[in-house]
Amino acid sequence: MGTTVVLKTGETLDSFRVLDIGAGSGLVGEKLYKNGITDIVGINLLEEAIDAINREQPGIYRDCYAMDMSDISKQKYSQLQKEKFNILTCGSALDFSDIPPLGFAAAYNLLVPDAWFVVNIKGVKDFFDTNSDSNGNIASFIRYLVSNKIASVTRNESYQHRIAINQRPIIYTAVLGRKLDNIPLMDIMQHEAESEK
């Protein structure tokens, strides 16, 4: 979904600089690489996940870091800002709350203006229907960004990710959007306060 839509804008594969947060074992990076996108940096919470990427996807990621995006040092953040990422991806870490809104915001703010983001959110059949949330935190946060003109959503598409052991389908929604502005810290605090009501 994402690569096709982005290429229609006239951007070229060799211009993409990807930040893959919650990279896991590198499945998103592998897909991007097979589609011709080769400048990929991965971030995982645990060092063991970095070991898995290096073992299972050798040569796919230019760099991989083990860090908590919601508690990143100023020095490391400044280093990552120099990368000038223009695509942010997250395969599934958002739906397990591995990356809270503060961590997502820190990664999002690393993007250059008008950059793309592609995220998967579990359990949301219609991204703009607030009643369909089973993982409302990140879905509602992105809707909050859209309503405040910090992000725009270009496309969202629900799909069956797999069948669970109980034979029920596990539904995800892929969301493709663009960065319009940085996320102010106050917006994160306000969203979290509203979510707790």
pLDDT value, residue 157: 87
Residue 147 structural domain: 2-195
In a 13 Å sphere around the CA of 81, the CA atoms on its Cβ side amount to 10
**Torsion sign over Cα 113, 118, 120, 121:** positive
pLDDT tens digits for range 19-78: 999 998 899 999 999 989 999 999 999 999 999 999 998 999 999 999 999 888 999 999
Look at residue 178 and tell me whether its pLDDT is greater than 60.
yes
CA distances (Å), origin 44, targets 51, 124, 162: 10, 24, 23
Q: Report the distance separating Cα 40 and Cα 88, nearest Å.
A: 10
Mean pLDDT computed over 175-180: 95
Q: Which amino acid is at 184?
A: P
Look at residue 129 and tell me whether its pLDDT is greater than 70.
no
pLDDT tens digits for range 65-81: 999 998 889 999 999 99
pLDDT value, residue 112: 97
How far from chain centre, in Å, is Cα 159? Answer: 17
pLDDT tens digits for range 3-12: 555 555 667 8
How many structural domains does the chain have?
A: 1
pLDDT value, residue 105: 92
pLDDT value, residue 185: 77
pLDDT value, residue 50: 93
pLDDT value, residue 189: 63
Q: Are 171 and 160 in contact (CB under 8 A)?
A: yes
CATH number, domain of 79, equals: 3.40.50.150
Q: Which amino acid is at 38?
A: T
State the Rg of the chain over Cα: 16
Beta strands 169-179 and 116-122, pairing class: antiparallel
